[in-house]
Amino acid sequence: MIPMRPTELAHRIVREVLCEGAHAVDATAGNGHDTCVLAEAVGASGRVTAFDVQQAAIDATRHRLASAGLLDRVDLVCDSHLHIARRVAAGNVSAVMFNLGYLPGGDHSLITRAADTDAAIVAACGLLCRGGVITVVCYPGHPGGGEEAASVAERMRVLTGDGWRIGSQTPVGTRRPSPVLWFAKRADAG
Ligand SMILES: C[S@@+](CC[C@H](N)C(=O)[O-])C[C@H]1O[C@@H](n2cnc3c(N)ncnc32)[C@H](O)[C@@H]1O
């Protein structure tokens, strides 16, 4: 069997928790692939908030959503995910996706940064409803990516057992160093 790519597995994980009318967040909109998956999963009565610091990424995401007929259910925010808690109300968010690194086809020097990513993950944890999930795809292969991946791993270690179920996946037999998916699912009750 061909192993699923981390991004594909992240899509499967968020689809499992999202239902019609849910609210989801894309913390790194990029070219809009993940935003489209979230927008489809929350349905016409749902809402997605998508962040990116680059206007080019916001424009690419808007274009992709419009082509798919999904734009009306998405709020596009050209701002850092560091400000996620200012822009999104706590308590009713079912999924937050982080897909780290640089914008494919864009400026490769503009990357997510370990400290900001960690702060945004902590803030995202505070927004999630019970049973909600955060997915983080890390790319250790570019400069700064290894440090960021280690920081995410440490955050997941700290969360483990504290009302969170943590999992990870690293594909084998792919380019080295492989991307890694982390997910943190908030307990349903308790
Ligand atoms: C790998 S791309 C995301 C891919 C995207 N999710 C998709 O499906 O096409 C990473 C994105 O993170 C964005 N980014 C970097 N720092 C950020 C920050 N502090 N807040 C929000 N987005 C950021 C970059 O501009 C880039 O577009």
Residue 61, ligand 1, Cβ within 6 A:
no
Pairwise CA distance, residues 166 & 8, whole Å:
18
H or E segment and range at residue 169:
strand 164-169
Q: Which of 112, 134, 138, 151 best tests ligand 1's pocket when mutated (most atoms within 8 Å of CB)?
A: 112
Kindly give the distance from the C-alpha atom of residue 58 to the centroid of ligand 1, in angstroms, as a whole number.
10
- Whether 134 maps to a domain, the answer reads yes
Distances (CA, A) of 96 to 52, 67, 75: 14, 23, 14
Q: Total structural domains in the chain?
A: 1
Give the model confidence (pLDDT) of 108-140 as tens digits: 889 999 999 999 999 999 999 999 999 999 999
- Whether 143 maps to a domain, the answer reads yes
Residues 57/82, Cβ–Cβ less than 8 Å: no
Residues 144/172, Cβ–Cβ less than 8 Å: no
Pairwise CA distance, residues 44 & 57, whole Å:
23
Question: Which residue is associated with the tokens 């864009």?
Answer: 106
Q: Is the pLDDT of residue 1 over 80?
A: no
Q: For residue 117, which atom of ligand 1 is closest to its CA?
A: 19
Kindly give the distance from the C-alpha atom of residue 120 to the centroid of ligand 1, in angstroms, as a whole number.
13
pLDDT confidence of residue 175: 59
- Whether 1 maps to a domain, the answer reads no
For the chain, the farthest-separated pair of C-alpha atoms sits apart, in whole angstroms, at: 44
Pairwise CA distance, residues 75 & 77, whole Å:
6
Q: What is the pTM of this model?
A: 0.96
> pLDDT: is 171 or 29 the higher one?
29
Residues 180/98, Cβ–Cβ less than 8 Å: no
Q: Ligand 1: which residue has its CA nearest to atom 5?
A: 30
- Whether 159 maps to a domain, the answer reads yes
The CATH number assigned to the domain holding 68 equals 3.40.50.150
Residue 2 binned pLDDT confidence (cut-offs 50, 70, 90):
low
pLDDT confidence of residue 4: 85
Pairwise CA distance, residues 158 & 154, whole Å:
6
For the ranges 61-65, 163-167, 184-188, the one whose mean pLDDT is highest: 61-65
Residues 147/107, Cβ–Cβ less than 8 Å: no
Q: Domain range spanning residue 178?
A: 6-186
Distances (CA, A) of 63 to 19, 34, 36, 58, 120: 24, 13, 11, 9, 26
Give the model confidence (pLDDT) of 47-102 as tens digits: 999 999 999 999 999 999 999 999 999 999 999 999 999 999 998 999 999 999 99
Q: 72's torsion region: left (phi>0), alpha (psi -120 to 50) or beta?
A: alpha
Residue 52, ligand 1, Cβ within 6 A:
yes
- Cβ neighbors of 1 (< 8 A, separation 6 or more) are none
pLDDT confidence of residue 174: 66
- Whether 96 maps to a domain, the answer reads yes
- Whether 89 maps to a domain, the answer reads yes
- Whether 11 maps to a domain, the answer reads yes
